[in-house]
Structure 1
C-alpha cells in the first residue's frame, strides 16, 4: 500500500516539564519544537505542560497548562529512587491529545528531538492482523523497542517504551484515557518508605496494563520478580497486533538528556532491546504478517558479544567499563 501520510496530517504533542539542561542552561524543549518545525513544517505543535512553566521562545501552535500534582518516588532495578511521574505523563498527554486537530498524532517527551522525517514512512504500513482478540487500536502505533526478556533480565512484560507514540489521534487519546495510578495502593516492603518497581509497576508498564484492563483483556496481572511463559506470550501477542517497534535511528529521534542512551540506543549496543527484525518475527507469528525475513546471523552474534562484554566488564573490570561507557557517551553526543 502506498503511504499517503504527510506532515499536514500530523499533530505533535510535546508533553511534560519545560526541559532545561542543568549544566549548560540549554532549553531542550525549545530544541524539540524547533526540530519539529524544521522537519515537519506543516504539522501542528501542541505544547502540554504545567502551570508556571516558562514557554517563551518555544515554537508551538497551541498550549495547554495543567495544575501541578503531588510527586512520589519509586525504587528502580538499579536500587536508586526516582520520581514516579506516570500520572504527570497521563495528565499532560491526555490533555494535549484532546486538542489535536489532525488525523494522526505523535506524543513525545519534552526533551526529544527529530533529525529527519523518516517516521512518515511507517504510518499505516503494517495492516495485517491475526485475530481481533488482541487488536485494541484501529491502526498499529509506532514506538521505540522495549526490552526483550530473551536477552536481558531488565525486561518486564507489558512494558512499552513511553518516550514517543505515533499513530491515529483517536487511538493515542484512547490509550491515555485511563485511570490515574492510585499511589496509596502501591506495595511497600517492610522497613522501607518507598515502593519498588519490581513489587508494583513502572510508568511504561502501568500505562499499557491499565489500557488493557480498560479493554477487558488483563484483569489479574500484577508485577513480581518472576513471570510465567504464558504472560510473556500474551504480551508479545499484544506487541504484534498493536505496535511497530522502530529503533531511534529508524525514527530519526534522539533524547537530549542522555543522547542515544537506553531506548534511543542501537539495539545491538543496548542492554537487550528488541530489534526490528525480532518485531517482524512477532508480526508474522502472532499478527498475521507475511513479511519475508532473511535471517541475519551477524545481528545475533553482535548482540550477544556486546551484551556479554558489557556485563563482564561491569562486574570484573568496573574501571574499564566506566571508561568505555564515558567514551561511548561522548561519541553519541557528537552525532
Structure 2
C-alpha cells in the first residue's frame, strides 16, 4: 500500500521560542514547518504550542494555543527541594494536536526538529511481517534511534524509546500520547532526609520510560509496573524486544529524514542507544526468519564499542551508588 501525503497530518508540538528551562534555537520552528511543506506537500500541518508564544510568521493549517500546564514535581532531594520535569507539557501539546487530526496517518514531531526527506513514509510499510500475538498497534509506528536507549549505566533497560518522532496510524499515536496527565509527587514527611522519587532508593526511571510504561499498561494488562530505571528481568527484556519487533520500525535519523539541531547530534553513534541493525535482528528473530539481518554487521558497526564501554559504564554506576 502506498501512503499518500494528503493522508498524513503532522503535529508539531512544543514551544516556538525559548522559555525558562528550555533553550530554543532561533527560527527553528519556522524551519520545521517549511521542511514539512517541502518534503510532504499536501500534508496537513497542526502546530500545537502554548498560549502567549509568539507565532508571528508561522503558517500552519491549524494553530492550537494550549494552556501551559507547567512543569510537574517528580522528585525531592534529601533537603526536600522539589525537582521538576515537563511530563504534562509534552502530553498536552502532543495529545491536543493528535485529537484534531482528521487523516488516517499522523506524525508527531518536536518543534525543534525538522524533516530532510519523506523516506519514513515508505519505511513504515517496508516490514510487513508481524507476530499477531505481540501486535498491539494497528500498524507499525516509525521511531527514531536518537535517545532511544538500549542501555543505561551499562545495563540493558526496557521501555525507553525516543520521543522525538513518531509516524503511524493516528489511532496508534493517540494510544501513545493521549494518556492521563501526571500529578505532582506528594512530599512524604516520614522520608525527609532521603531522596524521594519513583523507585527510590533505586535510580528513578527516565521520563520516556514513565511515559512508555503508562501507555503500554493501557494497551495490555500483561505489562508490569516499571519500578525503577534498571528494572529489567529476563522476561521483561524479551517482552520489550518482541514488542519492538512487531510494533515499531526503528530507524536512524538519516533513514527517517529527520533533522536534528546541533545539540542532539553526537560525534559518533552512541553505544548505549539502539540501532537500526539491533531492530533488524529483533524483526528477523520474532517476525521474519528469512530476513537477512546480520550479527556480524552489528558487531563491526557498534557491538565492539559496547563490549568496551558498557562494563566501564556499569562499574562507574556501581561506584557512584556505593555498591
Task: Please give the TM-score of this superposition, normalised by the length of structure 2.
Answer: 0.80
| Superposed displacement of residue 222, structure 1 | 1.8
Cα displacement string for residues 51-74 of structure 1 (whole angstroms, at most 9, x for unaligned residues): 111111123100112111131466
| Cα separation, partners in 2 of 1:30 and 1:120, compared to 1, 3 Å | same
Cα displacement string for residues 155-186 of structure 1 (whole angstroms, at most 9, x for unaligned residues): 53111111111000111112222122233269
* Structure 2 Cα separation of the partners of residues 126 and 45 of structure 1: 27
| Superposed displacement of residue 48, structure 1 | 0.3
| Superposed displacement of residue 94, structure 1 | 0.7
- Look up the match of 1:54: 54
Q: Aligned with 1:258: secondary structure?
A: helix
Match of 2:247 among 201, 217, 242: 242
Unaligned runs of 5+ in 1: 76-80, 315-335
| Superposed displacement of residue 281, structure 1 | 1.5
Unaligned runs of 5+ in 2: 76-81, 314-323
* Structure 2 Cα separation of the partners of residues 196 and 278 of structure 1: 29
Match of 1:147 among 146, 149, 153: 149
- Verify the 8 A CA contact 2:15 2:53 in the aligned structure 1: yes
Q: Aligned with 1:184: secondary structure?
A: coil
- Does 1:31 pair with 2:31? yes
- Look up the match of 1:172: 173
| Superposed displacement of residue 292, structure 1 | 2.3
Query: How many correspondences in the alignment?
Result: 299
- Does 1:201 pair with 2:205? yes
| Cα separation, partners in 2 of 1:122 and 1:291, compared to 1, 3 Å | farther
Match of 2:193 among 188, 191, 194: 191
* Structure 1 Cα separation of the partners of residues 25 and 295 of structure 2: 44
* Structure 1 Cα separation of the partners of residues 59 and 139 of structure 2: 29
* Structure 1 Cα separation of the partners of residues 290 and 149 of structure 2: 22
- Look up the match of 1:14: 12
Task: Please give the TM-score of this superposition, normalised by the length of structure 1.
Answer: 0.78
- Look up the match of 1:272: 272
- Verify the 8 A CA contact 2:17 2:24 in the aligned structure 1: no
| Cα separation, partners in 2 of 1:162 and 1:285, compared to 1, 3 Å | same
- Look up the match of 2:261: 256
- Verify the 8 A CA contact 2:106 2:168 in the aligned structure 1: yes
- Verify the 8 A CA contact 2:95 2:177 in the aligned structure 1: yes
* Structure 1 Cα separation of the partners of residues 216 and 285 of structure 2: 21
| Cα separation, partners in 2 of 1:247 and 1:185, compared to 1, 3 Å | farther
* Structure 2 Cα separation of the partners of residues 14 and 281 of structure 1: 32
Q: Aligned with 2:263: secondary structure?
A: coil
- Stretch moving more, 181-190 or 271-280: 181-190
| Superposed displacement of residue 83, structure 1 | 4.7
Cα displacement string for residues 56-97 of structure 1 (whole angstroms, at most 9, x for unaligned residues): 11231001121111314668xxxxx98511211111111100
| Superposed displacement of residue 251, structure 1 | 0.6
| Cα separation, partners in 2 of 1:174 and 1:304, compared to 1, 3 Å | closer
- Verify the 8 A CA contact 2:245 2:283 in the aligned structure 1: yes
| Cα separation, partners in 2 of 1:313 and 1:154, compared to 1, 3 Å | closer
| Superposed displacement of residue 194, structure 1 | 6.6
- Does 1:116 pair with 2:117? yes
- Look up the match of 1:292: 291
| Cα separation, partners in 2 of 1:192 and 1:38, compared to 1, 3 Å | farther
- Look up the match of 1:156: 157
Q: Aligned with 1:183: secondary structure?
A: coil
Cα RMSD (Å) of the superposition? 3.2
